[in-house]
Structure 1
Amino acid sequence: MKLTYHGHACFVVQDGGYSVVIDPFLTGNPLADINPESVHVDAVLLSHGHGDHVGDAEAIARANNALLVAPYEVASYFGKMGVRSHAMAHGGKHTFEFGTVKLTLAFHGSGFEMDNDIRNGGNPSGLLLTMGGKTLYHAGDTALFSDMKLIGDLQRVDVAALPIGDNFTMGPEDALLAAEWVHAGVTVPMHYNTFDLIRQDPQAFIQALEVKGLRGSVLQPGESLTV
């Protein structure tokens, strides 16, 4: 499994000739190193309905005839817009051609802004993505919650992408505890430094992980990690 970071919470994950993008917020993202037109994937995975995660999902899905996988309300909306979609809910797992997706809990919001209004985006989620025998836990936007322990207990997690930005999600201190509970092979910080409100020092987070005997890796936009 090859994981490439593109800023905020956006990752492209590749294995076995398949490629998926998670939370493709590229247009308007000051940290993004690519544009939507350069994304070539088999599927688009969304953790929830906020604009800084949905981002360019529709454009990418249409350009690639890619399947959009998301929580029920978000997937249903895009399905009605003519995008090929697959709806899921917390605890549900499904195997696709590219791999297996399971939705986990996340404590956040999910309404998305449209036509000067906020529409119901259902429940936010995290994602467990398994490709080629390796599993990524993409926590989405979330607070720390004790059931994260179960995520690490019920399956091996090879890499965990955890938000550290604070204010809208858990900050570095809570993310450190989440990393201990999930006990992934390697933890990658995300959802930080895109805006002033979520400015953090990712290297300090990695150092705190190392003190706990955990492995972490900071990915700059465009950098990759293979597990």
Structure 2
Amino acid sequence: MKVTYLGHACVNINIDGTHFLVDPFISANPLAQHIDINTIPADYILITHAHADHILDVETIAKRTGAQLITNPEILAHYEALGLTGHAMNLGGSHRFLDGKVKIKMIKAEHSSSFPDGSYGGNPAGFLIDCNEETIYISGDTALHYDMKIIPHQYRVNLAIFPIGNNYTMGIRDALTAARFVEVNNILGVHYDTFPVITIDKEAAKHKFKDDHRRLHLLPIGESIELKDLNISTL
């Protein structure tokens, strides 16, 4: 699995040529102005919750690509009214895609979820994506919560994608605790620096994870990492 960071909380996960785009917020992100949303590939679009900084480019990209949405019933209903299609899930449920090759499980996130007009956006969520014994945990916007400790009883997570900007979500300290709960050594940080209130000291953040024998990856927007290249042993 190849993970490309597209700014804020948006990543594009390439699984053998099939693209799972997560929470596209690109066109209004000043840090991602070099990313052309008209060239982003997407076969599926995963939506963790309904806040504007996670759904802004969903409609544009889905209409161009024909991507199927994977999200909660309330968000899917919103987009079905706009002519889009997809697969609804809810917390604790899982479903197999690509003829059973990719298993996606929707899991709890501690956050809120509403559309820009204030209407209800269903339960916020995270996703576990499992394929060929490789697992990515996308926590979504969340506070630290104790249910994260359940995950390593069922999955060996190779990469966790955590928000680290604080204020609206976990900050560095809580994200490090989350990594301990999940028992994961490689963490991709997201949801930071987009707005002044979530600006972080990137070098200090990486050192905190390194001191705990873990690696915090902070990718430049547009760059990628491959799960097979990650050193999952203790650093």
User: What's the TM-score bracket when you normalise by the shorter of the two chains?
Assistant: over 0.9
Q: Does 1:109 align with 2:112?
A: yes
Q: Does 1:224 align with 2:227?
A: no
Corresponding residue for residue 2 of structure 2: 2
Distance in 1 separating the partners of 2:88 and 2:77: 7
Distance in 1 separating the partners of 2:134 and 2:178: 20
Corresponding residue for residue 29 of structure 2: 29
4+ aligned runs moved over 3 Å, structure 1: none
Corresponding residue for residue 170 of structure 1: 170
Distance in 1 separating the partners of 2:13 and 2:7: 14
Corresponding residue for residue 155 of structure 1: 155
Distance in 2 separating the partners of 1:59 and 1:131: 28
Deviations 1:50-74 (A, max 9, x none): 0000120111111111101111210
Corresponding residue for residue 182 of structure 1: 182
SS at match of 1:68: strand
Gaps of at least 5 residues in structure 2 are 228-235
Distance in 2 separating the partners of 1:177 and 1:142: 13
Q: CA deviation at 1:102?
A: 0.8
Number of residue-to-residue matches in the alignment: 224
Counterpart contact for 2:185–2:213, Cα < 8 Å: no
Distance in 1 separating the partners of 2:81 and 2:164: 34
Counterpart contact for 1:16–1:132, Cα < 8 Å: no
Q: CA deviation at 1:153?
A: 2.6
**Partner AA of 1:182 in structure 2:** V
Distance in 2 separating the partners of 1:29 and 1:76: 26
Match runs of 1:56-205 below 5 Å: 56-97=57-98, 99-114=102-117, 118-205=118-205
Distance in 1 separating the partners of 2:160 and 2:125: 14
TM (normalized to structure 1)? 0.95
Distance in 1 separating the partners of 2:191 and 2:140: 9
Distance in 1 separating the partners of 2:175 and 2:76: 28
Deviations 1:29-51 (A, max 9, x none): 11224122111111111000000
SS at match of 2:127: strand
Deviations 1:8-48 (A, max 9, x none): 00001002121111001011011224122111111111000
Identity %: 39
Q: CA deviation at 1:131?
A: 3.4
Counterpart contact for 1:44–1:68, Cα < 8 Å: yes
